[in-house]
Each structure stands twice: as C-alpha cells, then as structure tokens.
Structure 1
C-alpha cells in the first residue's frame, strides 16, 4: 500500500511521528505473522522541499509525483491549536496549495485520511462536503461554522465516510494510522496496537471540557452558566429561554449551530462532567452522585455514563 504523508510547515511533531512510527512498526512486525502482509510504502510529501515542524525540526519532503497516485494520503495536524493562529495558517499559500493537491490526488483515485486539526485542511479542499467527519474536540464550533456542509461529530474518535477517514485530537493520529493498517490486516493491526500500547478510544467525549466549547458563543456561554446552577433539577427549555431573555427557538438554533446539539443534550453533558468529577474526587456512592446531578437513581446514571463515555463507573474511578 502506497501512503503519502502530507506535511506542511508547522506540522504537529507528535502527529507526524506517530503516523510514521505506526506504519514502520507494522512493516517490522509483519514478518512475525503466519500469512504474508503487503508492506506500507510511506513517503513524506510537501509543497516545499523542506518543512519545519511546530517545534522547529527540519524535515525533508518529496514533491508530489504527477506520474503516481498513492493509495492513501494521510494529513497530520498543523501545529496551530487555537482558532486565530489556525485561521491564519489556513490562509497561507502553502496550505491552499496543499488543499488543491488533495483534490488532485483524490481525482486520481487516492483516498484521504486526516487526523486532529488536519481535518480542517481536508475540509478546506471541499472534498468533505456532504460527508461525516470528526476533528479535535475543542475546535468543533469553529469547524461547524466554517464548514456547514460537513456533518461533524466531534465526540467520535474515528469517522469513515466514503473515501475519507478523519480522527480526533492529538493521539488520534495513532488511531487513524492503525485503522489503515487494519484495512490491510486486522491481525497485524492487533499486534501493532499491543506493541505501541494503543488502547480502544471510540470517543473523545471523556476528554471534552464543556465550558471551553461554550466560550465560542456568548449565548451558549450564558446558557452554560445558567445550567451549571441547576444540574440537580429537571431541565426545562422554557425556563432556560426565560432566564436568557430569548425564545426557545433561538436558543435551540444557537446551540445547534455552535455545538451541534440541543440544549437538553448539552445540559446532559454538563451533568456527565460533574458526575465524573465526583467519581474521581470523592468517595460518594453512585446513588448520591446521581441525586446531585439530577437523576432519580444510580442505574440511570450508569447507563448514561456508559452511553456517553463508553466507560463504566469502576473504570472512571480507576482513571481518577
């Protein structure tokens, strides 16, 4: 399998290394399997002869080969982690050229995988329009605003849609590369995961910080403050709209536009965040914690934690 890793100036060091290390490890371990497995032919490609990583390391890159189309193009994250630097980076000629190159590769039959903030570069190309995707969780509001035609679910760690695969934040680069190894050989992917200590991370939800997302919009931030003061009570959209001096429809529409979820769903996110904090920092029982975050019993809270985070009470307490 031919893989082109598209590196731009300021690329996230860990992301670039994680992708290459995963494929290199897969090639090393393939010989240990009883059945032969095709090798991964990996090249680092860029729009310049050399790129400098976010931490200042110089990386030699190859120019795109017009005579050959890779099977997969992997886009590691640019190093910009906050909205303003990221938007400035996306406006650079090098990244616009990289987005155009992605279109050329895809037109020639290549599939494209992007991790973390690399999903922004893929979305800039227009190729994700109409597709499902994920990205780094704290930039979900910006992604949703900039690319309204992409069906974003930033709670997921890995999303496959058509010819594209996108992965969540930071260490999602490992999940992304491992998913491509799995396409060649599920057995090899399992071995690589054990060697690199990659555990299952089906969701980013456990890592999200809801109030960071709320800061993307004044109305959402006001709703978040109101909601935190009544997590032990029942949710009422009428009461929320009255408290914020707005209409139910406006509040509903604003949260959907910024966070991609309803006021009730976000209210439940805040309850989950508070419950996890109590599980990790107190010795209170599940029934007491359930009451503190507005649920009638521990069974309901257990089910919600498992559904939202993919983890049970015991796992969450161990993590704390």
Structure 2
C-alpha cells in the first residue's frame, strides 16, 4: 500500500510521528513474520519543499505532485487548537494548495484520510460534504457551525465513508494508522496494536468533557450549569427552557447546532460524567443512582454499559 503523508507547516508533531512510527512498526513486524515485502511504502510529502512542525523542527519533504500516485493520502493535524487560529491556518496559501491537491486526488479515486484537526482541511476542501465524519471532539461545536452539511458524529473514533476516512482527537492519529494497517492485514494490525500497547477503542465518547463543549455557546453554558444543579431530578425541557427564558424550540435547535444532540441527551451525558466520578471515589451504586436521578441501580448499570461499554466493576478497575 502506497501512503503519502501530507504534512503542512505547523503540523502537530505527535500526530505526524505517530503515523510514521505506526507504519514503520508494521513494516518491521511484517518482515519478522516473513512477509515478502514491506506492506507500506510511505512518503512524507507537502505542497512546499520544506515544512516546519509546530515545535519548530524543519524537515524537507517531497512535492506531493511529483510522487508516484499513492493509494491513500493521509493528512495529520495542524497544531491550531483554537477556532481563531484554525481559521487563520485554513486561509494560508499552502493549506489552500493542499486542498486543491486533495480534491484532485479524490477525483482520481485515491483514498483520503485525516485525523484530529486534519479533518478540518478535508471539510474546508468540500470533501466531507454530505458524508459521515468525525473530528477532534473539543472543536466539534465549531466544526458543526462551519460545516453544516457534514454528517458529524464526534462520539466515534474512526469513520469511513467510501474512500474518505476521518479520525478523532489527537491520538486518533494512532487509531487512523491502525485502521489503514487493518486494510492491508487485520492480523498485522492486531500485532502492531499489541506491540504499541494500544487498547481497542471505537469511540471518543468516554473522553468527551461535556462542560468544555457547552462553553462554546452562552445559552448552552447556562443550560449546562442548570443541568449540573438538577441531575438528581427528572428532566423537563419545558422547565429548563422557562428557567433560561427561551422557547423550547430555541433550546432544542441551539443544542442540536452546538452539540449535535438533544437537550435530554446532553443532560444524560452529564449524568454519566457524574456517575463515573462517584464510581471512581468508591460510592455504592444505589447512592450513585440517587445522586444522578435514577430510580434504581439496575437502570444505572444498564446505562453505563450501553454508553461506555463497561460496567461499574470495570470502571472501578480502571481507576486503580
């Protein structure tokens, strides 16, 4: 599999090196297992002849337009974690040239992949329009506002939509790399994950910090504060809308636009977050259920397992 890693000035150092190290590890393990040839032919490319990483490391790259046609072009994240800085980065001439290159590759049937903030480059290029996608969860509200036609699910770690693949925040680069290794050999991907001490993780949901997302919008921030004060009570959309002095439709629309979910779903997220904290400090399950507004512990156990993929016992084990 020929891979072109498209690096731009200000690239996130960890994302770039994770991609390179994962494919190098895959090739080394493949050789040790008797593969006839390395499964990955990796080129570091750019739209200029040299890039400087976010930490100031300068390295030459091959011009993307001059390399042999790859099977996949992989875009690591730009290190621009604030919306204002990210907008500035997306307007740079080199980034615009990279978008044009990606559109050409997509038209030629070449696979396009990106992780974390690299997904914004794909979205800005129009390659995610009307597609399922994921992104870096802290920037999901901004992503939704800027790219309303993208079918964003920021709870997912990796989303494949035809020949366009997106992955989640920061270390989502590793999940993306393993996804690509898996396309060549599922057995090799499992072996690489074991050597690199990577646990299976199909979701970003358990890593999301709800109040960080809420602060992206003043109304949602007020809703979040109300919700935290009322976790032990039943949820009423009419009640919270009245307290916030807005209509129920306004609150519903704003929550969907900013968070990509209903007010009730966000309220449930906060309940889960609180329940996880109480589990971590050793509270008994009946007390936790009461604290977060569930009638009994069985309901809470079911919800935790459905939302997090683990029960109380596993969550407690994780905290040790």
Task: Give me the TM-score of the superposition, normalised by structure 1.
Answer: 0.97
Residue 253 of structure 1: aligned partner: 253
Q: 5 Å matches for 1:143-154?
A: 143-154=143-154
Distance in 1 separating the partners of 2:67 and 2:275: 56
- The 8 Å contact of residues 6 and 76 in structure 2, kept in 1 or not, is answered as yes
- The 8 Å contact of residues 133 and 160 in structure 2, kept in 1 or not, is answered as yes
Q: Give the secondary-structure state (helix, strand or coil) at the position aligned to 2:64.
A: coil
Shift of 1:319: 2.6
Shift of 1:208: 1.0
CA-atom RMSD in angstroms: 1.3
Query: What are structure 2's unaligned runs of at least 5 residues?
Result: none
Q: 5 Å matches for 1:1-320?
A: 1-33=1-33, 36=36, 39-66=39-66, 68-280=68-280, 282-320=281-319
Distance in 2 separating the partners of 1:307 and 1:233: 21
Q: Give the secondary-structure state (helix, strand or coil) at the position aligned to 2:4.
A: strand
Distance in 1 separating the partners of 2:4 and 2:65: 10
Distance in 2 separating the partners of 1:308 and 1:37: 42
Q: Give the secondary-structure state (helix, strand or coil) at the position aligned to 1:194.
A: helix
- The 8 Å contact of residues 202 and 310 in structure 1, kept in 2 or not, is answered as no
Shift of 1:62: 0.6
- The 8 Å contact of residues 15 and 76 in structure 2, kept in 1 or not, is answered as yes
- The 8 Å contact of residues 69 and 109 in structure 1, kept in 2 or not, is answered as no
- The 8 Å contact of residues 134 and 152 in structure 2, kept in 1 or not, is answered as yes
Shift of 1:47: 1.1
- The 8 Å contact of residues 38 and 184 in structure 1, kept in 2 or not, is answered as no
- The 8 Å contact of residues 31 and 38 in structure 2, kept in 1 or not, is answered as no
- The 8 Å contact of residues 69 and 108 in structure 1, kept in 2 or not, is answered as no
Deviations 1:5-30 (A, max 9, x none): 00000000000000011111111111
Q: Give the secondary-structure state (helix, strand or coil) at the position aligned to 1:165.
A: strand
Shift of 1:34: 5.9
- The 8 Å contact of residues 33 and 188 in structure 1, kept in 2 or not, is answered as no
Deviations 1:101-123 (A, max 9, x none): 10011112211110011100111
Distance in 1 separating the partners of 2:188 and 2:36: 10
- The 8 Å contact of residues 78 and 118 in structure 1, kept in 2 or not, is answered as yes
Question: Are residues 311 and 60 of structure 1, via their aligned partners in 2, closer, same or farther at CA, if it must alter by over 3 Å?
Answer: farther
Deviations 1:245-287 (A, max 9, x none): 111111101100111000000000000111111111x221111
Distance in 2 separating the partners of 1:14 and 1:125: 24
Q: Give the secondary-structure state (helix, strand or coil) at the position aligned to 2:62.
A: coil
Aligned length: 319
Shift of 1:35: 6.1
Shift of 1:32: 3.2
Query: What are structure 1's unaligned runs of at least 5 residues?
Result: none
Shift of 1:37: 6.6
Q: Give the secondary-structure state (helix, strand or coil) at the position aligned to 1:129.
A: coil
